[in-house]
Amino acid sequence: MKSFGVRLRDAMGRHGPLCVGIDPHPPLLRSWGLTEDAEGLEAFAEICVEAFDGVVALVKPQVAFFEAYGSAGYAVLERTTDVLRRSGTLVLADAKRGDIGSTMSAYAQAWLGDGPLASDAVTVSPYLGFGALAPALELAELNRRGMFVLAATSNPEAAQLQRTRAADGRTIAQTMVDDAAAVNAGAEFGSVGVVVGATLTEAPDLSELNGPILMPGVGAQGGGPESIRALVPAASLNAVVPNVSREVLAAGPSVDAIRARVRELNDAFAFLQA
């Protein structure tokens, strides 16, 4: 099997660069006329699968919104992930896991192993130290999966940590990008991506990453083509994966309307694949 990075790049070439979220937060369930319980969650997920399967490059379920319903929510997440992956659609579990030692190994097995939650990639937090991600990095390499490392997020609280400078003068966010780039070195296209907010006013240097750049904050949160151009070197634009959720899901529950919005946004970001 090809590496996750190569499979993602191929999928972006076929379907456009978008990553679309499955974010069943309660107000959205209500606006779709669905109940705020596991049944409503399952109906929501089924609509999203029908709308996105074979249409977008990457689908990103937000794990927290499934976790809120306990074991029933996890069962919906398992079924959703399985249906998408079986049909060839790449799935990124937005779990933001990060820990040390055996606990990190257990998280890696959950999301990158062969269990019921196994996905093509997972989001991880490196702020216990990038080296603490080693168990997940090793399993991702073994199983040809991917990871997206939180590097420069757009929430204002992040600046206190991510913009602090290390002893060598680099920001902490830059060290995370550089560590990811070191893992990707020599690959055709690396499987260790980074998360960089599309609404930031400045971003780490991404020119040496050789991997995907997931950029949340597009659409309803204010990010768009111009903000991405301002943050990412021209030579790296073809690695950008704009992450849209609210902007697309607001068109639901009509599958046709959701797909139409996906097409519009793919057209808006077509310059990334030029």
Per-residue model confidence as pLDDT tens digits over 18-46: 999 999 999 999 999 999 999 999 999 99
Report how far residue 191's alpha carbon sits from residue 8's, in angstroms, rounded to the nearest whole number: 9
Q: Which of 228, 241, 238 is nearest to 272 (CA)?
A: 238
Q: What is the mean pLDDT of residues 229-246?
A: 96
Q: Which of 33, 35, 57 is nearest to 270 (CA)?
A: 57
Q: Indicate the range of 30-39, 182-191, 219-228 predicted with least confidence.
A: 219-228
**What's the pLDDT at 219?**
78
8 Å CB contact between 242 and 215? yes
Q: What is the mean pLDDT of residues 165-172?
A: 96
Q: Which of 21, 86, 8 is nearest to 258 (CA)?
A: 21
Q: CATH code at 242?
A: 3.20.20.70
**What's the pLDDT at 17?**
97
**What's the pLDDT at 167?**
95
Q: Percent of the chain having pLDDT more than 90?
A: 96
Q: Which of 43, 121, 132, 109 is nearest to 85 (CA)?
A: 121
Give the pair of three-digit tokens for residue 200.
Answer: 């930031």
* 60 is a catalytic site residue: no
For residue 221, pLDDT over 80 is answered with no
For residue 220, pLDDT over 80 is answered with no
pLDDT tens column, 112-165: 999 999 999 999 999 999 999 999 999 999 999 999 999 999 999 999 999 999
Q: Pick the catalytic residue from 25, 79, 85, 96.
A: 96
Give the pair of three-digit tokens for residue 229.
Answer: 């151009």
Domain residue limits at 95 = 4-273
State how many domains the chain has.
1
For residue 274, pLDDT over 90 is answered with no
Stated pTM of the model:
0.97
Q: Percent of the chain having pLDDT more than 70?
A: 100
- Chain mean pLDDT for the chain: 97
pLDDT tens column, 55-77: 999 999 999 999 999 999 999 99
